[in-house]
Chain A
Amino acid sequence: MAIKLRELTQTPELIAGGHRACAGCLGVNAVRQVLHAVDRPVVTTSATGCLEVTTTIYPYTAWQTPFIHSAFENVAATASGIERALKVLGDEGAIPRKVKTIAFAGDGGTYDIGLQALSGALERGHDFLYVCYNNEAYMNTGIQRSGATPYGASTTTSPAGRRSLGKTQRPKNMTDIVVAHSVPYVAQASPHSWRDLATKVKKAMDKEGPAFINILAPCHRGWRYPMEEGINISKMAVDTCVWPLFEVDEGEWNLSYRPRRKPDVADWLKRQRRFDHLFKNGGGPVLDTIQDTVDEDWAKLLERCGEPPKTD
């Protein structure tokens, strides 16, 4: 049954207003959307990063759920301990058994420094949901490149310059890496597609065992677009197939959304000043490579999901 927006608005606001994230931050927005879709008590934990520093400035906290942050690279390990402790308390009847653990981390805390802890927790099969809010760089420390930063993007450590066209490597496919762990539920989501996002969170919460949702989380500071454009930027990322929406439910690949018309990736890139240099002298081949990679990945995804190949 389709989730109604009105229903979501009736659920408690678990990230209180007044936090210090930038206006228009889609990372914190994504987390807020996740928590609106949650229908049971949860213990939340987050890695170091924009989410954590903007929501917990002492003596305040925006978290209306129990929450712990301990370090950058270990959120999945912290969640492992929480989850086992909740099991002990659930078994002895001190708390309801359905309490769930949710871990949040940025792309740095997931793709890079937190990958080992995440892989370990997935392999051990803890009953928890892991949400990566992927803003494609280390934003909290000032927009440095990460393993999720797109090919050609200018960041403060992969700057465009006289001899550089931005990041020289393509991002790793983190969602695939999680799928390789054979966990019950893996999905990609985007904040503009709130119903899809909420549906995926609900599915993930109902699984027993690890679930992982990778949410694209545009950051206007790092991607350099006008503050109010975030939702459009995320929609275009999905329409251009840079960030396809899909799930892998008990090993079964399902495409969540197929754009009727697939615009050129350049249309998306053009709106973000982190790619400005690609549209000046010499960026052409990089643009071509980006488009080719997106097309290849998209064709592969269609096949995996049992969808007919591209028509346009």
Chain B
Amino acid sequence: MRPDTGRVAMTGNEPGALAMKQVRPDVVAGYPITPQTELMQQFAQYVADGESETELILVESEHSAMSAVIGASATGVRAMTATSANGLALMWEMLYIAAGYRLPISTMLVSRSLGGPINIHCDHSDAMGMRDTGWIMLFAETAQEAYDNGIMATRIAEHDQVRLPVMTVQDGFITSHTTQVLSILTDEQVSEFVGIYRPKKSLSNFDQPMTYGAIVLPDFYMDVKRQQAEAMDNSPRFVEQVADEYAELTGRRHEALESYRLDDAQVALVVLGSAAGTAKDAIDIMRERAIAVGLLKVRMFRPFPRVEVAEALSRTRAICVLDRSLAMGAPMGPLAADVAASLVTGRRAPPLYNAVYGLGGRDITIADFEGVIEEAAEVAQTGAPKATVRYVGLRGNEE
């Protein structure tokens, strides 16, 4: 039986809030920032209406939001928060600490540029700033995925063999503020799926008082961090397990990577988040024009599925990795750098270059993608990209 209880039309923030309600966190900390604000407002309404029993702490900053959920999680309850951009930047110090303490906190990021100049629209500069902090990171293309990730994140984070924080990312405005049709579960289905979180070891175990956050000096620090890295490296198989169970429940299976018309592709695009949808449409058009192009959509950005990425791309003749953020002064954008590194350690490394698009909410259209694909197809012929980093959709001519 596939109990798809409801097809509903919602903006991305609404299923975010709904997932947050349905996983029944014991403690949520909230602080407003566009474009995430609406999600927390909706959640506060659930609490105000008695639909959620969560203890909602309306903190005075995002640094305190993450600190409060760290305190709550260490005390042995399910704790969550949500944010965007500068809010995530303000949490940055605490992101490392949440992960280092192996706290199963899940957080929803509604992606937005980090400025300056200030800009409230989507790009992934906020998410990329946290990529090395030790969180599992799941990106959503659609409101449906944002909802599904929001539910799976709790199970993944709290899995005995994982115990790592999970960040689920949806694109600000593009996903969070546009109406899409999606399937949702009932509260009971979700609550059965995620279960109850009451760990034996926590600050509320008075028989075995434990210290969290000791100072660890050079004699032990490196070993502690190595163990944490191991937990991260081992997590994909448990992420997959949770995805299997979720597929069982919903009929929707979310893999770490999604391939679109990639099997016979000579040209590959690689992308994160909502742009994947536009890319797919453009690929269909270009396939009609006999260009063998396909897409690799990265859903799980951390841990980066490097073996599978290399596997999926090694037979192509040109790869264009699209980044919705800049890594100033770095050889390439963050996604491109990861794909390149994955290929280097793989079997074969086809020519690869980086295309930067969509900064601060600049639209990327099907026509833009057609241009990207045409250029990539040329690279497949010549074997030589025009530049390591290209910009898509600049005002005027790039050259």
Q: Which A positions have Cβ atoms within 8 angstroms of B? A: 41, 43, 45, 52-53, 56-61, 63-71, 73-74, 76-89, 94-95, 99, 116-117, 119-120, 123-124
Contacts and interface: CB of A to CB of B under 8 A. Distances in A.
Contacts of A67: 203, 209-212
B215 A58 contact: yes
Contacts of B59: 77, 80, 120, 124
Interface string B52-66: 000101111101110
Contact of B212 (A64, A68, A116): A68
A84 B55 contact: yes
A61 B79 CA distance: 26
Interface of B: 26-27, 29, 55, 57-61, 63-65, 67-77, 79, 93-94, 97, 101, 198, 202-206, 209-217, 220, 224
Contact of B74 (A56, A74, A82): A82
A89 B64 contact: no
A119 B60 contact: yes
Nearest to B63: A74
Given A77-B67, A78-B67, A85-B27, A70 B55 contact: no
A99 B202 CA distance: 14
A120 B206 contact: no
A58 B219 CA distance: 9
A248 to B, nearest CB: 23
Contact of B75 (A60, A63, A76, A82): A82
A94 B68 CA distance: 21
Contacts of B67: 70-71, 74, 77-78, 80-81, 117
B58 A124 contact: yes
A151 to B, nearest CB: 30
Contacts of A85: 26-27, 55, 71-73, 75-77, 79, 204
A84 B77 CA distance: 10
Contacts of B217: 57-58
A81 B68 CA distance: 4
Given A56-B211, A68-B213, A82-B74, A88 B64 contact: no
B71 A78 contact: yes
Given A63-B209, A71-B94, A81-B69, A43 B64 contact: no
A81 B72 contact: yes
13 contacts: A56-B215, A60-B214, A61-B214, A66-B210, A70-B94, A74-B64, A74-B94, A80-B29, A82-B71, A85-B71, A86-B204, A99-B206, A116-B61
Nearest to A53: B215
Contact of A68 (B65, B79, B203): B203
A32 B69 CA distance: 27
B26 A88 contact: yes
A81 B70 contact: yes
A67 B209 CA distance: 8
B61 A79 contact: no
A59 B93 CA distance: 23
A187 to B, nearest CB: 24
Q: Which of A61, A65, A80 has the most CB of B within 10 A?
A: A80
Given A58-B217, A81-B70, A88-B27, A66 B203 contact: yes
Nearest to A75: B67
Given A81-B70, A88-B77, A89-B76, A66 B206 contact: yes
B60 A70 contact: no
B220 A59 contact: yes
Given A59-B220, A87-B55, A116-B60, A82 B203 contact: yes
Nearest to B53: A88
A64 B209 contact: yes
A64 B75 CA distance: 16
B194 to A, nearest CB: 16
B211 A52 contact: no
Nearest to A56: B214
B156 to A, nearest CB: 21
A82 B72 contact: yes
B71 A61 contact: no
A58 B211 CA distance: 10
Nearest to A68: B212
A296 to B, nearest CB: 32
Contacts of B97: 70-71
B74 A68 contact: yes
A211 to B, nearest CB: 18
Contacts of A53: 215
Contact of B29 (A43, A63, A81): A81
B353 to A, nearest CB: 40
A99 B214 CA distance: 23
Contact of B64 (A63, A64, A82, A120): A120
Given A82-B72, A85-B71, 4 more contacts: A58-B224, A68-B74, A69-B212, A78-B67
Contacts of B101: 70
B212 A89 contact: no
Contact of B213 (A69, A77, A79, A83): A69
Contacts of A52: 213, 215
Contacts of A74: 63-64, 67, 94
Contacts of B65: 77
Contact of A43 (B61, B204, B214): B204
A53 B202 CA distance: 21
Which are the 4 A-B pairs with shortest beta-carbon distances? A81-B71, A120-B60, A77-B64, A81-B68
Contacts of A86: 75, 204
A181 to B, nearest CB: 12
Contacts of A41: 206
A233 to B, nearest CB: 28
Contacts of A45: 71
Nearest to A74: B67
B213 A70 contact: yes
Contacts of B29: 80-81
